[in-house]
Amino acid sequence: MSSDAETPAPEEAVASASAIVSDSQTFGRAFKDFRGGFAQRELWLSLGWQDIKQRYRRSVLGPFWITIATGVQAAAIGILYSALLGQSIKSYLPYVAVGIIVWNVIQASILEGSDVFIANEGLIKQLPSALSVHVYRLVWRQLLFFAHNMLIYLVVLFAFGVWEKLHWTAIFAIPALGLLFLNSMWVSIVFGIFSTRYRDIAPILGSLTLMLFVLTPVMWNTKSLEEQGGQVSERAKLAEIVPTFHYLEIVRAPLLGDDQHLYHWVIVGSITVVGWIVAIFAMKQYRSRVPYWV
């Protein structure tokens, strides 16, 4: 048989190589990664729970230190700022407590999300698993932290009479939390991929998160500004420019029995759609490169 029959033509070799390369950068492979990662839920469920146990290893109270630390922080801020701002502690402390609980999820999504692949370098290089496993693990761990911190909400609910204000609309807190953790996933994917490639992004996000904490009404509220009327009322609307304000509102308002506004849901829903589009494109284009970047 001639050598021409055994050796593919240069054009065929280039086409074949191109097909191999492009196959790793398709939407099909990206969605397959999401499905494969979810199918390995026994792995990331176990790893996420192990993260918490490892962090509080040999401590008497274990993971409940999460609750104690958050509770002390909320109580200290609530008592101090209610006096400084002239707010009723009965209404202000629950407002701050729920705000901090939700903010911890937002903050972890940004900071831990940007480090999700770098922190799992060993597993990514040695364990044959979908890249999304590490994102699922991170979000599951955040959900466990959130569940521990919700014990503070239960205390506040009865100790400060918040349950008297609740009505049937409190059920909207469930889809709101679903949206919150759905956003946590795309944030971890996008920031995680680009922080792995460009290591300067993580420190930038650290400074950005601190700035967002100050600008987001976690410790202060827009109602106190609006009550002053006039020009200050217009300035209070500037808080709505900060995206994290809307995430905070869709969760905190139903949990405290406050009025809810549709535009918060519309803004969060729009950001969720755009964020997931970016995350899917990022997974399509760069998923196969992450093991080399870490």
Within 13 Å, how many C-alpha atoms sit on residue 290's CB side?
34
- CB-neighbour burial class of residue 17 (10 A; exposed 0-12, middle 13-18, buried 19+): exposed
Q: How far apart are the first and last CA of the chain?
A: 47
- CB-neighbour burial class of residue 164 (10 A; exposed 0-12, middle 13-18, buried 19+): exposed
- Find where tokens 């964020």 sit: 275
CA-based max dimension of the chain: 94
Report the amino acid identity of residue 252.
R
Per-residue confidence at 4, pLDDT binned at 50, 70, 90? very low
Predicted local confidence at residue 269, as pLDDT: 96
Question: CB 45: neighbour CB atoms within 10 A?
Answer: 14
pLDDT higher than 60, residue 90:
yes
Per-residue confidence at 16, pLDDT binned at 50, 70, 90? very low
Token duo for residue 267: 């803004």
Per-residue confidence at 122, pLDDT binned at 50, 70, 90? confident
Measured at the alpha carbon of residue 78, what is the angle toward residues 175 and 180, in degrees to the nearest 5? Answer: 20
Whole-number Cα distances in Å, 277 to 30, 186, 190: 12, 9, 10
Within 13 Å, how many C-alpha atoms sit on residue 23's CB side?
6
Predicted local confidence at residue 9, as pLDDT: 52
Per-residue confidence at 234, pLDDT binned at 50, 70, 90? low
| Mean pLDDT of all residues belonging to the chain | 85
Domains of the chain, residue spans: 27-293
pLDDT higher than 80, residue 205:
yes
Question: CB 117: neighbour CB atoms within 10 A?
Answer: 26
Predicted local confidence at residue 123, as pLDDT: 86
Element (H, E) at 173: helix 173-197
74 and 67 Cβ atoms separated by less than 8 Å: no
Predicted local confidence at residue 179, as pLDDT: 95
What distance in Å separates the CA atoms of residue 110 and residue 96, rounded to the nearest whole number? 21
